[in-house]
Amino acid sequence: MNTTKKLAIVTGGGSGIGFAIATQFVQHDIYTVLVGRDEQKLRRACEELGPNSECYSCDLSDLHAIPVMVDRIIARYGHIDILVNNAGINMKKSFTDVTDDEFQAIMQINVTAVFALSREVVKHQLDKKVGGCIINISSMASQYGIPKVIAYTASKSAIEGMTKAMATELSPYGIRINCIAPGFIATDMSAKALDADPERKAKALGRTPLGYLGQPADIGAAALFLASDAAQYITGVVLPVDGGNAVGF
């Protein structure tokens, strides 16, 4: 079932920002494979997106499952043009209460799995010699210091470093690597972090010049742009999509 359409993988595509990115891709005729753990959620998302999408259930913390998934997608479609490393987890806890295992669990999903999946996809892109595009998702936590999210901050800072290193190494092969740093976007993840903590929410909005939470579709639009030929000369950037939050006073 090789497809002539561009093929994208969006991790965490069943909800929030990932679903919004998948929606933009599908609407622009990019065949999109949604990856996540919750099969029911993924299936519902695919039903909503229609025939230009399919889902693949995979726990990305299981690093052995990643090459198997990539090989299966390649066997089915022959190519992977776009990878969006969107799946991520957060944990809000005071610095000294975070255990080594908790720290490691965040790093495993937010960094190690991103590395492992990117590596497997890039191997195929290098084989096919047709270039490719990878979009990573970081956070305001890597732009400035946010308390009580130490592991998340370490992971998202690593993502930005990896973006630059990969962009430099892979540019000669026509593979572009960029990163989107979302500000405070209305999803389940941000609701968990902000709704029970009105002071934090007020602080987040207080330093967002546009004055409101972003929508997942705002990130979807940026991802579509970075994945498109209109961004063919853009690689290695971290693009804040944040209503000005990174620069607000």
Report the interface residues with ligand NAP, using CB under 6 A: 11-12, 14-18, 36-38, 41, 59-61, 86-90, 109, 137, 139, 182, 184-185, 187-190
Please confirm, yes or no, whether 77 is among the known catalytic residues: no
Q: Please state the closest distance from residue 191 (CB atom) to ligand NAP, in A.
A: 8
Nearer CB in complex with ligand NAP: 74/111: 111
Distances (CA, A) of 55 to 64, 157, 166, 210: 19, 29, 27, 35
Nearer CB in complex with ligand NAP: 37/128: 37
Nearer CB in complex with ligand NAP: 114/175: 114
Q: Please state the closest distance from residue 175 (CB atom) to ligand NAP, in A.
A: 21
Q: Please state the closest distance from residue 233 (CB atom) to ligand NAP, in A.
A: 25
Q: Which of 31, 152, 173, 233 is catalytic?
A: 152
Nearer CB in complex with ligand NAP: 11/235: 11
Q: Please state the closest distance from residue 173 (CB atom) to ligand NAP, in A.
A: 26
Catalytic positions are 152
